[in-house]
C-alpha cells in the first residue's frame, strides 16, 4: 500500500527493503506532492503577483491557494496571518529580527527551554548579545519533560517572549504549551511555538492555543524542502517591520536621483510604503513550486486513509484525519518503546510512556558509538539519524556527545520496528566479538564491510 503512495519506498538499499526511520529530519514525499510540483512546471510556470497573462494568474492562484490551505490546517483566523518562508528556521529568524529587534531592549529577558533546536537558540543568543538582554532556560526533568513548577517562576515582568518547541526533536516530548501560553500572557509576555515536529503528527489550532507566533516546516510534513511558514497574530505582524526588502513587498518607493537639499547628516529621506500583509514579509521571487507542494502535502494529510483506521472522507474536518494519524503513530510508538526496552544495554532518552511523546525516540547502546550502529543498520536497509540532532546544549545536559534516533511516520509499521530491533541486536553481536577488541580496534567502516558481506 505505502509503496504506491510514496515512490521512494520501492527502493532497495543494499539489497534490502528500505525501512525509513529518519522522519524527524525529513519525511518522504507522496506521489501527489511530486505530481503537483511537476504539474506546475509543466503547465503553469510563471512568476506570481506580477503579470496579467494567463500563466501568471494561474501560478498566483495556486500559490495563494496553498496559503489558504495552511491557514485552514492550523486554524488561523485570517489568511494574512500566514507568512510563507523557506522553512521553520527562517520563520524564527523573521520574528527575532523584526519583532525581537523592535521589542527587546537592555535588561529584558527571553525564556527558552533546555530542549530547543539550535534554530530556536542561536538567533535569540545573537539578539540578546546585541541588545544586552538576558536568556533564561526552562529546565527539564530526568524524563525529558519541562518542569512547570520551575518554568513558571522564570517568567518575570522583564520577560518579553517565551520561545518553546511544541515537541522536542530529540526527546519526542509533547510540551504543555497551553499552560505555558496562558501563564506567559498573564505575565505580559508573548509566545512563539516551534511546531516543526508537531504539525504532521498532532492537531494544531493556533486560535485555541492563543499563541502569538507558530512556525512550521514543509519538508517535515511530507512537503518539499525549502518551504515553511510563520503564523503571527495580525495585530503583531502589522506593527513589525519587514524582515527582508526588495521586489514584491512594497507598494511604493521613490528615489531622489539628484537631491537638491540633502539633510544635515548628508543622508536622504526614505520614501517607501510597504505592501499589506502578508506580502510585506515575502520579498523577492518565491519558491513557487515548493509552496504548491506544501499545499499538496496538506491535502494529503487532511484526507489520508490512515492505516488500520479507514479512509477519512474529504468532507470531514481535517482534525479527524490528523487524529487518525496520531492514533496510528501512538500505537506504533508504544510498540517501539516496548520492543526497544527489551534490548540489553539500550538507554532511551525522554518520556518512557507513549502518551507523553510522539514517535521520536533517541537512544544509545552501551559500548557502541551511534555512528557505528547507524552504519550497520544502513547495511540492512534501515535509515536512522545519529549525531547531536542540532541540539548540542541538550546533549550536554544529558551528559552525552551524540545519540541515535528513530522517528516514525504514517508509512511506518510494526514490521519496520521488528527489523530495527533485529538490526540493533545484530550490531551488538557483530561488535561484541572478542576479535573486535584486539589491540588494533577495527573501525566502523570495517564493521560495515563485515555487515554487508554477512561476516559475523
Helix and strand counts by DSSP (H, E) for the chain: 16, 17
**Cα–Cα dist 43/120, whole Å:** 39
Q: What confidence score (pLDDT) does residue 90 get?
A: 98
**Cα–Cα dist 112/165, whole Å:** 9
User: Is 316 within 8 Å of 303 (Cβ atoms)?
Assistant: no
**Cα–Cα dist 33/134, whole Å:** 43
β-pair partners for 140: 146
**According to the 3-state scheme, what is the secondary structure of 310-376?**
ECCCCCCCHHHHHHHHHHHHHHHHHHHHHHHCCCCCEEEECCCCHHHECCEEEEEECCECHHHHHHH
User: Is 215 within 8 Å of 88 (Cβ atoms)?
Assistant: yes
Q: What's the predicted TM-score (pTM) here?
A: 0.92
If one counts every other C-beta atom within 10 angstroms of the C-beta of residue 27, the result is 23
Question: How far are the Cα atoms of 55, 66, 72, 446 from residue 299, in angstroms, in the given order?
Answer: 23, 10, 11, 45
Grid cell of 177 as nine digits: 504549551
Active-site residues, by number, are: 390
Residue 192, SS3 per DSSP: strand
Pairing of strands 12-13, 159-165: unpaired
Q: Give the neighbor-by-neighbor strand order of the sheet with 213-217.
A: 82-85, 228-232, 213-217, 190-194, 159-165, 109-113, 134-138
If one counts every other C-beta atom within 10 angstroms of the C-beta of residue 1, the result is 10
C-alpha 75, offset from chain centre = 18
- List of the chain residues with pLDDT < 70: 258-268, 305-317, 433-456
- Look at residues 388, 398, 413, 410 and name the one whose alpha carbon lies nearest to residue 169: 388
Burial of 276 (0-12, 13-18, 19+ CB in 10 A): exposed
Q: What is the DSSP secondary-structure string of 211-231? A: -SEEEEESGGGTS-SS-EEEE
Q: What confidence score (pLDDT) does residue 263 get?
A: 55
Q: What confidence score (pLDDT) does residue 50 get?
A: 87
Longest dimension (CA), the chain: 86
Helix (H) or strand (E) holding 285: none
Q: What confidence score (pLDDT) does residue 312 get?
A: 41
Grid cell of 103 as nine digits: 521589542
Q: What is the DSSP secondary-structure string of 229-274? A: EEEE-HHHHHHSPPSS-SSSSEEEEE--SS-SS--TTS----EEEE
- Write the pLDDT tens digit of every residue in 124-143: 999 999 999 999 999 999 99
Domains, the chain: 33-256+267-297 (3.40.640.10), 316-453 (3.90.1150.10)
**Cα–Cα dist 383/180, whole Å:** 35
Contacts of 322 (CB under 8 A, 6+ apart): 201, 202, 203, 301, 302
Per the listing, cell 510498540 goes with 335
Q: What confidence score (pLDDT) does residue 289 get?
A: 99
Question: How far are the Cα atoms of 73, 199, 303, 321 from residue 315, in angstroms, in the given order?
Answer: 14, 20, 9, 11
Amino acid at each position: 500500500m505505502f509503496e504506491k503512495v510514496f515512490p521512494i519506498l520501492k527502493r532497495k538499499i543494499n539489497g534490502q527493503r528500505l525501512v525509513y526511520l529518519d522522519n524527524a529530519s525529513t519525511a518522504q514525499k507522496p506521489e501527489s506532492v511530486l505530481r503537483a510540483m511537476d504539474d506546475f512546471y509543466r503547465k503553469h510556470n510563471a512568476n506570481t503577483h506580477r503579470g496579467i497573462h494567463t500563466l501568471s494568474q494561474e501560478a498566483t492562484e495556486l500559490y495563494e491557494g496553498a496559503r489558504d490551505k495552511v491557514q485552514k490546517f492550523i486554524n488561523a483566523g485570517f489568511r494574512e496571518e500566514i507568512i510563507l518562508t523557506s522553512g521553520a528556521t527562517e520563520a524564527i529568524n523573521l520574528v527575532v529580527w523584526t519583532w525581537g529587534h523592535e521589542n527587546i531592549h537592555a535588561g529584558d529577558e527571553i525564556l527558552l527551554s533546555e530542549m530547543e533546536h539550535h534554530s530556536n537558540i542561536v538567533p535569540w543568543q545573537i539578539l540578546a548579545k546585541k541588545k544586552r538582554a538576558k536568556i533564561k532556560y526552562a529546565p527539564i526533568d530526568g524524563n525529558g519533560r519541562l518542569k512547570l513548577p520551575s518554568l513558571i517562576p522564570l517568567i518575570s515582568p522583564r520577560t518579553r517572549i517565551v520561545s518553546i518547541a511544541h515537541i522536542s526533536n530529540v526527546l519526542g516530548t509533547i510540551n504543555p504549551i497551553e499552560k505555558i501560553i496562558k501563564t506567559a500572557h498573564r505575565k505580559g509576555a508573548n509566545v512563539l511555538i516551534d511546531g516543526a515536529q508537531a504539525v504532521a503528527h498532532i492537531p494544531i489550532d493556533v486560535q485555541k492555543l492563543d499563541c502569538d507566533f507558530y512556525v512550521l516546516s514543509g519538508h517535515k510534513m511530507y512537503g518539499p524542502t525549502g518551504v515553511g511558514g510563520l503564523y503571527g497574530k495580525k495585530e503583531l505582524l502589522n506593527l513589525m517591520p519587514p524582515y527582508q526588502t526588495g521586489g514584491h513587498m512594497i507598494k511604493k518607493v521613490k528615489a531622489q536621483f539628484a537631491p537638491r537639499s540633502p539633510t544635515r547628516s548628508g543622508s536622504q529621506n526614505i520614501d517607501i510604503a510597504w505592501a499589506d500583509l502578508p506580502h510585506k514579509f515575502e520579498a523577492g521571487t518565491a519558491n513557487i513550486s515548493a509552496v504548491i507542494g506544501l499545499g499538496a502535502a496538506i491535502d494529503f494529510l487532511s484526507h489520508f486513509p490512515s492505516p488500520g483506521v479507514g479512509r477519512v472522507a474529504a468532507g470531514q474536518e481535517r482534525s479527524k484525519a490528523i487524529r487518525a494519524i496520531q492514533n496510528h503513530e501512538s500505537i506504533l510508538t508504544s510498540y517501539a518503546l516496548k520492543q526497544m526496552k527489551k534490548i540489553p544495554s539500550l538507554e532511551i532518552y525522554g518520556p518512557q510512556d507513549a502518551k507523553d511523546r510522539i514517535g521520536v525516540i533517541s537512544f544509545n547502546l552501551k559500548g557502541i558509538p551511534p555512528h557505528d550502529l547507524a552504519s550497520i543498520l544502513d547495511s540492512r536497509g534501515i535509515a536512522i539519524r545519529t549525531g547531536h540532532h542540532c541540539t548540542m546544549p541538550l546533549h550536554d545536559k544529558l551528559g552525552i556527545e551524540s545519540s541515535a534516533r528513530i522517528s516514525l511516520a504514517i508509512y511506518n509499521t510494526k514490521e519496520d520496528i521488528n527489523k530495527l530491533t533485529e538490526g540493533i541486536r545484530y550490531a551488538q553481536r557483530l561488535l561484541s566479538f572478542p576479535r573486535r577488541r584486539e589491540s588494533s580496534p577495527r573501525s566502523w567502516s570495517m564493521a560495515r564491510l563485515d555487515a554487508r558481506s554477512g561476516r559475523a
